[in-house]
Structure 1
């Protein structure tokens, strides 16, 4: 009798060499509910970011991994995406020992990133158009660096309004939390991908102690600071 193989979460291979001093863990998007496999399109959406993180983080010993979930959805109380993220954090500890981790999540992955931020290895959390329901906790963010990027016209389930409300609550725990908005941006921020990838990479490196934080200008200010362009930040 045929028995279907149980799905397991997996980490993509690290494309580097030498000693690992820190990790960037990328968490792709998905669906509110789905017991099918993870979304390949969502994984491809983080490919360029993974490439930039790998290139710029290589000299600092930053390993970049993407998490391939068991299922494509959060699935209510099962919180499958968060369960897989917790597994990945434990696996990274097994592979690399006591190294710092920055979680970078898009949409569904953003919820998992913020949900699992309380893990002792996590030093920073970045959400790109993250799905942040009103019921989700914020206390686990204490002591972490936090970045949120959202299109101001995102009215999906992972809406800009929800991430703004979450950021207001989280600011009580993390006063340095920074939230940027992409003017005219919907949930899919393809027109500003280069700017988002550059800022997110700056954030990840800074959280690992490699370079200054790119968010200084927005820290303590409004939670709808317009996303700066890559060229403007280099002037």
Structure 2
């Protein structure tokens, strides 16, 4: 009952800022390994708190916040539908906001799309929240981007913590200041630490866009998630 009707094309929610846009946060929700149903509404709802915090703190800096509603709620093998939709959305954002840098923020399935599309010329940074990062996904294209990964140590889903750790260790060769935070005992959904994750992600996003400077731990792939003050 949480699957929305499939749109004919992927859709960007309206930008959450008035006036000139100097940067963009693009939220990419989770989904399934395979599915041709429409976007998973409950996954979209799970990003509402983060979208609200990004909007509130980013408004003085001209940050536009969008969520992408995919055509399908699945990656779907070689079709990589989620990544295809993300790349098209990045092209559209570049058309709407020429020169505005983008931070991709992907949860679970959306995390893989975020990392796949990090080579788009508009992308300044990538965030994966419990991202699905299968072994073998490329990392060289992350050079020049800022990278943040957050994962629960008890996430044993398809998007498990061991895979994101392996990915982070490989990616650190091209992104030496990559930051990966762990939630001890956290499962895939990380609901109990959502306030901390939202604050950390917003700090990272504004820093990656040059709007603020946050004291983020970098270079560590197993740092504990900080507690929101």
TM band (smaller chain): over 0.9
CA-atom RMSD in angstroms:
1.0
Task: Using structure 2 for the length normalisation, give the TM-score.
Answer: 0.96
Task: Give, in whole Å, the separation in 2 of the partners of 1:183 and 1:9.
Answer: 35
What is the alpha-carbon distance in structure 2 between the residues aligned to residue 213 and residue 115 of structure 1? 26
Q: How far 1:220 sits from its partner (Å)?
A: 2.3
Q: How does 1:194-213 map to 2 (within 5 A)?
A: 194-213=195-214
Partner Cα distance (2:133, 2:55) in 1: 27
- Pairwise CA distance, 1:166: 0.3
Alignment match, 1:186: 187
Structure 2 stretches lacking a partner, 5+ long? 1-5
2:226 aligned with 1:228:
yes
Larger radius of gyration: 1
Q: What is the TM-score when the length of structure 1 is the normalising length?
A: 0.93
1:115-171, CA deviations, whole angstroms, 9 ceiling, x for partnerless residues? 000001100000000000112100110000000000011011000000000000000
Q: Give unmatched runs, 5+ long, in structure 1.
A: none
Residue 218 of structure 2 corresponds to residue 219 of structure 1:
yes
Alpha-carbon distance, 1:105 to partner = 0.2
- 1:89 is matched with which residue? 90
Alpha-carbon distance in 1 for matches of 2:8, 2:34 = 16
**Cα displacement string for residues 87-123 of structure 1 (whole angstroms, at most 9, x for unaligned residues):** 0000001111111000000000000000000001100
Moved over 6 A (4+): none
- Superposed displacement of residue 15, structure 1: 2.3
Instruction: Name the structure 2 match of 1:60.
Output: 61
Whether the 8 Å CA contact 1:199–1:214 is kept in 2: the answer is: no
Aligned length: 224
